[in-house]
């Protein structure tokens, strides 16, 4: 079963790109970020025609996350717990029933944190602390669990074509990277790194010819619980989508899990 994440950078602007990719890739579940749409304005009909159920957590003009699923969505939750005053639409979680029982997954759009020296960076770190608490709590459920999305964190120098260019950016700060390591230190697997040590990017800025020069970074990640990692069969980045007409500046990242029931004993 194929699970994917994609920062779509505006669902209305990218609906044709999205539906073309859905028809090409045929993922079972997709977590979208930066839909930049209120729930009632989301163009769900075009997606539902392709056989997907849609759940959204939208926000006017910016942020916003969504889940598209070929399977019935259960236990849909909107918003990251831990701060009742945080109204930004950045987190959605759901589950689907599969032969092995259930697979639970979260789609997240982690705060950018720039510019440094403003309230945006502490907000980013606080959000990551809340995500860590959620991730820790989900481990206790002992289920296959995926946290998929735009983390706005460059974990290591290999994850940037030019690491020195990011030294003053919130995405590459020691505090951001340490918070990332705390997540993986809980027992979650960085799925792309589990499959390859090769330099791979998921984002290329629209400016300064970054895509033609391959000046990319890796900030879109799938973290898997031990139970999901045990079922991991393949990982990929659909890099070619960045070359399509009117693309997002991010590309889809996907994993395949074996969700078959296993004999006991």
Which domain CATH number covers 46?
Answer: 3.60.10.10
Output 241 or 263, whichever has higher pLDDT.
Answer: 241
Query: Length of the chain in residues, anyone?
Result: 265
Tokens of 85: 């005053």
Is 7 annotated in some ligand binding site?
A: yes
Q: Average pLDDT, stretch 60-73?
A: 97
Which residues are 28's β-sheet partners?
none
Residue 265 lies in a domain: no
Whether 33 shows a pLDDT value over 70: the answer reads yes
Q: How confident is the model at residue 142 (pLDDT cuts 50, 70, 90)?
A: very high
Tokens of 141: 């459920």
Contacts of 45 by beta carbon, 8 Å cutoff, 6+ apart = none
Write out the catalytic residue numbers: 109, 150, 250
Residue 263 lies in a domain: no
Q: Shortest CA distance to 46 belongs to which of 8, 76, 86, 98? A: 8
Neighbours of 247 (CB within 10 A): 19
pLDDT of residue 250: 98
First to last CA, the chain: 25
Whether 264 shows a pLDDT value over 80: the answer reads no
Q: What is the overall mean pLDDT for the chain?
A: 97
The answer to which of 13-17, 48-52, 142-146, 194-198 has the lowest mean pLDDT is 194-198
How far is 42 from 59, CA to CA, in rounded Å?
10
Q: Which domain holds residue 169?
A: 2-257
Which residue's structure tokens are 């930004």? 88
The count of domains in the chain is: 1
Residue 39 lies in a domain: yes
Residue 30 lies in a domain: yes
Is 150 annotated in some ligand binding site?
A: yes
pLDDT of residue 160: 98
Residue 221 lies in a domain: yes
The answer to whether 61 and 36 are in contact (CB under 8 A) is yes
Q: 161-187 in b/e burial notation, b at 16+ Cβ within 10 A?
A: beeeebeebbbbbeebbebbebbeeee
Tokens of 43: 């163009």
Is 34 annotated in some ligand binding site?
A: yes
CA 41 to chain centre: 22
Residue 262 lies in a domain: no
Residues 161-216: pLDDT tens digits? Answer: 999 999 999 999 999 999 999 999 999 999 999 988 999 999 999 998 999 999 99
Residue 264 lies in a domain: no
Q: How confident is the model at residue 143 (pLDDT cuts 50, 70, 90)?
A: very high
pLDDT of residue 263: 65
* Predicted TM-score of the model (pTM): 0.97
Contacts of 77 by beta carbon, 8 Å cutoff, 6+ apart = 92, 93, 94
Residue 209 lies in a domain: yes
How far is 217 from 163, CA to CA, in rounded Å?
9
Whether 104 shows a pLDDT value over 80: the answer reads yes
Is 112 annotated in some ligand binding site?
A: no
The answer to which of 128-132, 192-196, 200-204, 245-249 has the lowest mean pLDDT is 192-196
Neighbours of 100 (CB within 10 A): 17
Whether 265 shows a pLDDT value over 70: the answer reads no
Determine phi and psi for 75, rounding to 5 degrees. 55, 45
How far is 167 from 125, CA to CA, in rounded Å?
17
């Amino acid at each position: 079963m194929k699970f994917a994440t994609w920062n779509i950078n505006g669902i209305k602007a990218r609906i044709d790109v999205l539906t073309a990719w859905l028809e090409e890739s045929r993922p079972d579940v997709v977590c979208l970020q930066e839909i930049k749409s209120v729930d009632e304005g989301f163009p769900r009909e075009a997606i539902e025609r392709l056989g997907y159920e849609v759940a959204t957590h939208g926000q006017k003009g910016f942020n916003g996350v969504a889940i598209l699923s070929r399977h019935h969505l259960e236990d849909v939750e909107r918003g990251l717990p831990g701060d009742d005053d945080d109204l930004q639409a950045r987190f959605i979680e759901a589950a689907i029933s599969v032969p092995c029982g259930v697979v639970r997954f979260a789609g997240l759009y982690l705060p950018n944190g720039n510019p440094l020296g403003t309230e945006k960076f502490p907000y980013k770190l606080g959000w990551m602390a809340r995500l860590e608490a959620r991730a820790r709590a989900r481990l206790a459920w002992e289920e296959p669990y995926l946290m998929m999305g735009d983390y706005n964190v460059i974990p290591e120098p290999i994850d940037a074509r030019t690491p020195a260019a990011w030294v003053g950016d919130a995405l590459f700060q020691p505090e951001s990277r340490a918070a990332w390591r705390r997540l993986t230190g809980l027992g979650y697997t960085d799925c792309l790194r589990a499959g390859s040590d090769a330099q791979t990017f998921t984002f290329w800025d629209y400016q300064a010819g970054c895509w033609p020069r391959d000046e990319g970074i890796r900030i879109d990640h799938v973290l898997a619980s031990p139970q999901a990692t045990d079922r991991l069969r393949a990982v990929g980045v659909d890099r070619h989508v960045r070359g399509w007409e009117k693309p997002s500046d991010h590309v889809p990242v996907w994993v395949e899990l074996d969700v078959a029931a296993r004999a006991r004993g």
